[in-house]
Amino acid sequence: MTSGTMPLRSEQDIVSARQAVRKWCVELGFSLVDQTKMVTAASELARNTLIYGGGGEMVWSHGSQPGRRALTLTFADEGPGIPDLDLALTDRWTSGNGLGLGLSGARRLVQEFDIDTTPGAGTRVTISRWK
Amino acid sequence: MERIPILRMGDLLLVTIQVDLHDQVAMQLQDDLTAQIERIGAKGVVIDISALEMVDSFIGRLIADTSSMARVLDAETVVVGMRPAVAITLVELGVAMPGVRTALNVEKGMAMLIQSRRED
């Protein structure tokens, strides 16, 4: 397994994160559609971290586990947290001026999705895709 | 900040997005394109996204909004060249881009605009 952390403090960081995720997906041998899904999910979550969480970081790990090659990403911020998680995971619901598809859409694009949020303490969203 | 060039062909405009879009660059394009439509009285816009490896909900909405703005300014927009993997991902994400006309490539998009002008 290889792992590390990338900052999510600016729009340029979102672009860098997308490019890194694409590179890892290619290295892991993901199909083009699977690569695109993972990169898109990462872009949605990275933007959430920046806009709603006030910035944070992306923790990544990838590599071969027995039986599967997986990429796992955690988007962590120390922002206001999400007071009503069920609501936030509803399509078209938004606390900002977005489409309200970031969280719910990203969840549909990956194989594993986990969210841990505490009002006032921050949010961590973890996603995985594997081949 | 980098800007995306807008090419004029008669009363049509062609925008080819060749870079990985920053949010700010995408929003600048919206401003530049609507200004250019007004300045030359453009009747049609082709937005070529064949180089885009990813369209997320932000960029998808921006393209859909740009198309609506162009329509209010009496110009029709055709989005061309979407990659199949991008199309699959966008629909799964839930971004439908209603009201946005699409074509497979620039040539077909241009033909579509010229055709619909003849019908006017």
Q: Residue B84: its chain A contacts at CB < 8 A?
A: 33
Residue A35's CATH number: 3.30.565.10
Interior/surface letters A81-112, b for 16+ CB within 10 angstroms, e for the rest: bbeeeeebeeeeeeeeebbbbbbbbbbebbee
pTM for the whole thing?
Answer: 0.91
CB atoms within 10 A of CB B49: 21
Contact across the interface for A37 and B89, Cβ inside 8 Å: yes
Q: Which residues contact A92 (CB under 8 A, 6 or more apart)?
A: A99, A100, A101
Contact across the interface for A40 and B58, Cβ inside 8 Å: no
**At A51, which amino acid appears?**
I
For residue B1, the distance in angstroms to the closest alpha carbon of chain A comes to 12
pLDDT tens digits for A48-92? 999 999 999 999 998 877 778 999 999 999 999 988 888 888 776
Q: Which residue of A has its CA nearest to B61?
A: A99
Residue A99: pLDDT above 70?
Answer: no
Domain count, chain A: 1
Structure ipTM: 0.88
CA-nearest of A42, A52, A44, A53 to A17 is A42
pLDDT tens digits for B15-49? 999 887 788 888 899 999 999 999 999 999 999 99
Domain count, chain B: 1
Residue B73: pLDDT above 80?
Answer: yes
What is the domain range of residue B106?
6-119
Higher per-residue pLDDT: B120 or B40? B40
- 3-class DSSP assignment, residue A100: coil
Residue A95: pLDDT above 70?
Answer: no
Number of residues that this document lists for chain A: 131
Which of B24, B56, B59 best probes binding to A when mutated, by most A CB atoms within 10 angstroms?
B56
Stretch (H or E) spanning B90: helix B84-93
CA distance B82 to B101: 12
What is the domain range of residue A61?
2-130
Residue B41's CATH number: 3.30.750.24
CA quadruple A1, A31, B78, B69: dihedral, nearest 10: -30
For residue B85, the distance in angstroms to the closest alpha carbon of chain A comes to 5
Contact across the interface for B57 and A36, Cβ inside 8 Å: no
Q: Which residues contact A12 (CB under 8 A, 6 or more apart)?
A: B22
What is the full DSSP assignment across B33-67? HHHHHHHHT--EEEEE-TT-S---HHHHHHHHHHH
Query: What mean pLDDT comes out for the span A118-130?
Result: 94
Average pLDDT over all residues of chain A: 90
Position B1 in a domain: no
The beta-carbon neighbor of B89 closest among A40, A47, A91 is A40
Contact across the interface for A47 and B53, Cβ inside 8 Å: no
Report the pLDDT value the prediction gives residue A29, as an integer from 0 to 100.
93
* Helix residue ranges, H only, A28-131: 32-51, 85-88, 102-109
Report the pLDDT value the prediction gives residue B27, as an integer from 0 to 100.
87
Confidence of residue A98 (pLDDT cuts 50, 70, 90): low
Contact across the interface for B85 and A36, Cβ inside 8 Å: yes
CA distance B32 to A122: 37
Residue B63: pLDDT above 60?
Answer: yes
Confidence of residue A45 (pLDDT cuts 50, 70, 90): very high
Angle at A75 between CA A110 and CA A38, to 5 degrees: 25
Residues of B with CB under 8 A from a CB of A: 20, 22-24, 53-58, 60-61, 83-86, 88-89, 92-95
pLDDT tens digits for B75-107? 999 999 999 999 999 999 988 787 799 999 999
